[in-house]
Structure 1
Amino acid sequence: MATKKKHYTEEEILKSKTSALKADGEWKYRKRNYRQALNSFSAAIELTPKEKKCFVSRSKCYIQLGQFRNALIDAEASLVEDPFFPEGVYQKAEALYYIGEFEFALVFYRRGLKLRHQMEGWRVGIHKAEEAIIGSVGSRSFIKPEVMGDLSYLEEEIGRKQPIAVVQNLTKKDRSPVAMKNERTTRQLLGGFYQHKGFLEKLLKDEDLIKGVTKNGERVDDLIKNCITSLNHCADFWSQEKPISPKEISRQPKPPKPSLTTRKAQYLLKSFDEITRSLATGNPKCSLRKTEDIIKTVQGLTDKECLIKDELMCFLHSCMGLAFFDLGDLDRAMEHHEDDLNLARQCNIPDAISRALANIGSIYAETKQFEKAIEFWIERIPYVHEGLENTWMLHEIGCCYLELNYPEKARDYALCSIAAAEEMFEDMWQLRASVLAGQCELILGNFESSVSLFEKALSLAELENDGTARKAIQKALKEANEQLQNQQQSSQNEKNEEEKEEQEEDASEQSESLKE
């Protein structure tokens, strides 16, 4: 009997074609064929114009191709029907960042963190946006906001007496708005946002409104004050000149602000900005040349001219150490990081001590002197007060212990790293620390615990959409499961042998009893 051929509806055919185009686009994107991937996603959007994930994927392609305005348009298109779509919010933040609208990018990174705090990308985005803002101010390239609707959206929500919760963490709750000394300066710095600030200040006078509470239990009064404080912080931020370039947290040297009122201070600030930017953009030779020149200038300053001369020298030694490290000259790098550490200890500068200990430990780890690396990193732990830094430190110490074949100590530090990462909602570091702990348990023969840790790591890899990590973890998980099954089988065989011996003994005793 012939089987009936299934007839697909037009909607099912359309859905199938769209899925195929999306899969093709994702494959090409992973292969870095961004233009071809863009064509696939465009074709999928033509078939299904409301497919928000396709807009996000095409936006990513535009970013890779340097078409940042198009990336922003697509990111906004993904948010038309669902303004709280996390992937769309993140992509909009990314597009704004690459366009150079760092303040607005920061708003959306923070909004996304509230929507889905498990994603590590939000905190990375917040960090790089904040650093970019400060760096822009330091180089006198002020970024003035334009009215883009973010606070007007808040106004609409407040009008309904249910303000959105995503603005809650823009500033600390326990701080109240502080009036700016110069209102004219504030107006110039805030631009279009100055009107929003006035609107929010008027809302504070509405006693009935500020007594309200949102569905999430947040007080309207607190939310409005937080928004005003955020705007005041922006104005303060843009009025300062303190250059800090984007650099990974674990090795970032933060330049102190020279206490000079002369042109020398302006020259030093500009030079510090150039040094850190050269390091961040992978140009250590340029950073090295500039740092060598600036060291001579700083050494020529008197203690009366500059009260923080020692702190400046610590910073410059750190920059030279990082530059030599990037150039592969680890001996010269070590010399400067040791100079940084010795001077920092002599002058009791905790931040510089912490930075130098981290960098010296990294050089020892790079040269496979793991015991030395552990020694310096453990010494650094009391100086670490930031959660992500603590997570990284514990993980690196665990890795060193594993290299030295001390799996128990490595596991203990890995578990501490997991706990620290969980407190920070850092999925990527939970993943890394879970893999490390799983490896240690596998070596120690604790196969059940190893399987549990690898399963946790696998779920985090899937959440992060990290295909490479997922494959590696699946392989390790397979090995751990095989070892567990062998262990269980061996245990069962031993149990069967014991039962058999007991039965034989019982049978022998019964036989002897019958003979008697």
Structure 2
Amino acid sequence: MSEEQKESRVPFTVYLSQGKQLALKGDNERAIERYTIGLENKEDDLNLLLDRSKCYLRMGNTVAALNDAETTLQVNKTFLKGLLQKADVLYAMGEFEMALVCFHSGQRIRPELDDFRLGIQKVHETIDNSLGSLSPFRRKNEGKAQIHEIQDKGGNADKDNNENNEHIHRKLLEEFYVDRVFLNNLLKNKVLHQDKPKQSLKVAQKVMCFVKRMSDSELPTRNEVLANLHNCIGNALLRLGCIDEAMENHEAELTLAVEYNLEEYRSRALDHISHIYAKTGRFAQAVEVLQERLSFMCSALDSIWLHHELGRCYLELKNFSEARNHGHLSLNEAQKAQDSEWLLNAVVLMANIDMKLEDYHSAILNFELSLNEARALKNNEAEEGILKSLKKAKYALSLKCKDPSGSNQQGNEAHGMDISLGITEKDEENDDINTVPKQQINQEANPVVDASSSSIEDKV
């Protein structure tokens, strides 16, 4: 019997054990050989793929490490060890924004695990350190000189070009690379969005000028960076009250996303466009955009908030049948996800619809249910708003009982309050936007019942 035939009869678990022992001794190359033989017997074994990815990463072969990590997720989308490994590899490659997305995804699934929390902290610290070390842009000639120097040094390294591309681009772009990291994470910087829209606008416009002069070879992710820039500029302009200019930038982001098949950016652009339409009272247009966005949703959270916002828009359009339909869908999805905050939003939406339909019995039941949710969440402002509207609903019911055929305006008065937020719709129009990326997703994000913004602003 040949050696190959003997090895083919050995259980793959033996190769897994041998690989682990070799890896512990620091012999990653031989460990990879054992894992590879084991994968020939069982090509989709998650542990073999994961351990081989770790060995590749320790050897500096980030491309192979990423391939194995992504393969584990193709086999099992909920394999958290594979998601964590992918995040670590992306971090090692300098793809901090993508690593952050993976860490956030893992934390959202298993918030009790320290690995994802520490990963998020690690990425944020790295980004902060990068931004803190920014120096003024060098003169044009100096930049060219260093580019030639790097190219001369790397001229004989054709074999490793694919693995070192990111490292080379980081050196070639210098401050431009830091700007890329900064812009890709600008949406995650709450302080910048809440307090400094003028500063973010100035930075984004300045870097836009540089990026537009770059070629795809100088900046392989040029289209993604441009999309992020348009997104940042649009958000800042909206906060400054420049509605039309903000819309132009988000539409530019959408155009780039469609042209270059950037699904994540497309969904984000549609989120912002629908928000602007709703914010400016163009609810019919908002519905069209939300329906398009709904056609390629990718998560339970997407389904919850999209149906919720469709319900709100239809409510404004006085299409109560569609409003109730989407309200029920949002409520059902929130219950499935066991998301108390979105459950509160959905129940309040149903109560508002009931008030418009003068179904005060149902409205009272929904207000009481939402009151319990608000108290469980310790949301005092929401609780205060719900109590006021519950009182109005009971008063409206008493009037209807006294005069069943009479016209009753109390329901309309109560509907003027967005109960989950404790603010009037008129006040809502003057609120600042809270911009959170999808991906975040989706990007990256649990809904927050915020007393200073509507739920559509929370999502966008």
TM-score (norm 2): 0.52
Aligned identity (percent) is 27
| Counterparts of residues 131-280 of structure 1 (less than 5 Å) | 175-176=46-47, 178-180=50-52, 232=85, 235-236=88-89, 238-244=91-97, 261-262=168-169, 263-265=171-173, 267-275=175-183, 280=189
Q: 1:367 to 1:266 in 2, by over 3 A?
A: same
Q: Give the Cα separation in 2 of the matches to 1:284 and 1:397.
A: 28
Q: 1:228 to 1:398 in 2, by over 3 A?
A: closer
Aligned to 2:249: 336
| Counterparts of residues 117-132 of structure 1 (less than 5 Å) | none
Q: 1:427 to 1:187 in 2, by over 3 A?
A: farther
Q: Give the Cα separation in 2 of the matches to 1:331 and 1:318.
A: 14
Amino acid at match of 2:180: F
1:348 maps to 2:219 = no
Q: Give the Cα separation in 1 of the matches to 2:308 and 2:81.
A: 39
Q: Give the Cα separation in 2 of the matches to 1:420 and 1:238.
A: 33
Quick check: 2:90–2:96 contact (8 Å CA) kept in 1? no
Aligned to 1:6: none
1:387 maps to 2:300 = yes
SS of match in other structure, 1:270: helix
Deviation of residue 349 (structure 1)?
A: 2.1
Aligned to 1:314: 227
Q: Give the Cα separation in 1 of the matches to 2:253 and 2:243.
A: 15
Q: Give the Cα separation in 1 of the matches to 2:213 and 2:400.
A: 70
Deviation of residue 265 (structure 1)?
A: 5.0
Q: Give the Cα separation in 1 of the matches to 2:311 and 2:53.
A: 51
Quick check: 1:317–1:337 contact (8 Å CA) kept in 2? yes
| Counterparts of residues 14-29 of structure 1 (less than 5 Å) | none
Amino acid at match of 2:51: A
Deviation of residue 387 (structure 1)?
A: 1.9
Q: Give the Cα separation in 1 of the matches to 2:197 and 2:389.
A: 38
Find 2:277's aligned residue among 358, 364, 368: 364
Find 1:286's aligned residue among 199, 215, 239: 199
Deviation of residue 228 (structure 1)?
A: 6.3
Amino acid at match of 1:408: S
1:67-113 Cα distance to aligned partner (Å, 9 max, x none): xxxxxxxxxxxxxxxxxxxxxxxxxxxxxxxxxxxxxxxxxxxxxxx
Deviation of residue 242 (structure 1)?
A: 2.3
SS of match in other structure, 1:316: helix
Quick check: 2:186–2:232 contact (8 Å CA) kept in 1? no
Deviation of residue 343 (structure 1)?
A: 2.3
Q: Give the Cα separation in 2 of the matches to 1:329 and 1:392.
A: 26
Q: Give the Cα separation in 1 of the matches to 2:394 and 2:203.
A: 55
Amino acid at match of 2:96: P
Amino acid at match of 1:236: V
1:426 maps to 2:358 = no
Aligned to 1:512: none
Aligned to 2:126: none
1:178-219 Cα distance to aligned partner (Å, 9 max, x none): 11556597599xxxxxxxxxxxxxxxxxxxxxxxxxxxxxxx
Give the aligned CA root-mean-square deviation in angstroms: 3.6
SS of match in other structure, 2:47: coil
Q: Give the Cα separation in 2 of the matches to 1:232 and 1:342.
A: 33
Quick check: 2:180–2:225 contact (8 Å CA) kept in 1? no
Quick check: 1:274–1:287 contact (8 Å CA) kept in 2? no
Q: 1:326 to 1:176 in 2, by over 3 A?
A: farther
Quick check: 1:377–1:393 contact (8 Å CA) kept in 2? yes
Deviation of residue 389 (structure 1)?
A: 2.7
Deviation of residue 299 (structure 1)?
A: 2.3
Q: Give the Cα separation in 1 of the matches to 2:215 and 2:59.
A: 39
Deviation of residue 316 (structure 1)?
A: 1.7
Q: 1:348 to 1:183 in 2, by over 3 A?
A: closer
Aligned to 1:439: 352
Q: Give the Cα separation in 2 of the matches to 1:471 and 1:434.
A: 16
Aligned to 2:6: none
Aligned to 1:448: 361
Q: Give the Cα separation in 1 of the matches to 2:341 and 2:215.
A: 47
Q: Give the Cα separation in 1 of the matches to 2:202 and 2:59.
A: 41
SS of match in other structure, 1:176: helix
- Number of equivalences: 275
1:269-304 Cα distance to aligned partner (Å, 9 max, x none): 411332355552232233223222332333223344
SS of match in other structure, 1:302: coil
1:408-466 Cα distance to aligned partner (Å, 9 max, x none): 32222222111121122111111111111111112212223222222221111111011
Q: 1:345 to 1:468 in 2, by over 3 A?
A: same
Quick check: 2:173–2:218 contact (8 Å CA) kept in 1? no
Quick check: 1:259–1:308 contact (8 Å CA) kept in 2? no
Relative contact order, CA 8 A, sep 6+: which one is greater?
Answer: 2
Q: Give the Cα separation in 2 of the matches to 1:284 and 1:180.
A: 45
Q: Give the Cα separation in 2 of the matches to 1:344 and 1:379.
A: 14
Quick check: 1:243–1:272 contact (8 Å CA) kept in 2? no
Deviation of residue 340 (structure 1)?
A: 1.2
Amino acid at match of 1:381: L
Q: 1:307 to 1:478 in 2, by over 3 A?
A: same
Q: Give the Cα separation in 2 of the matches to 1:382 and 1:184.
A: 39
TM-score (norm 1): 0.47
SS of match in other structure, 1:383: coil
Q: Give the Cα separation in 1 of the matches to 2:282 and 2:197.
A: 25
SS of match in other structure, 1:394: helix
* Higher gyration radius (CA): 1
Amino acid at match of 1:275: L
Amino acid at match of 1:271: D
Q: 1:259 to 1:383 in 2, by over 3 A?
A: farther
Aligned to 1:477: 390
Q: Give the Cα separation in 2 of the matches to 1:468 and 1:373.
A: 28
Q: 1:357 to 1:278 in 2, by over 3 A?
A: closer
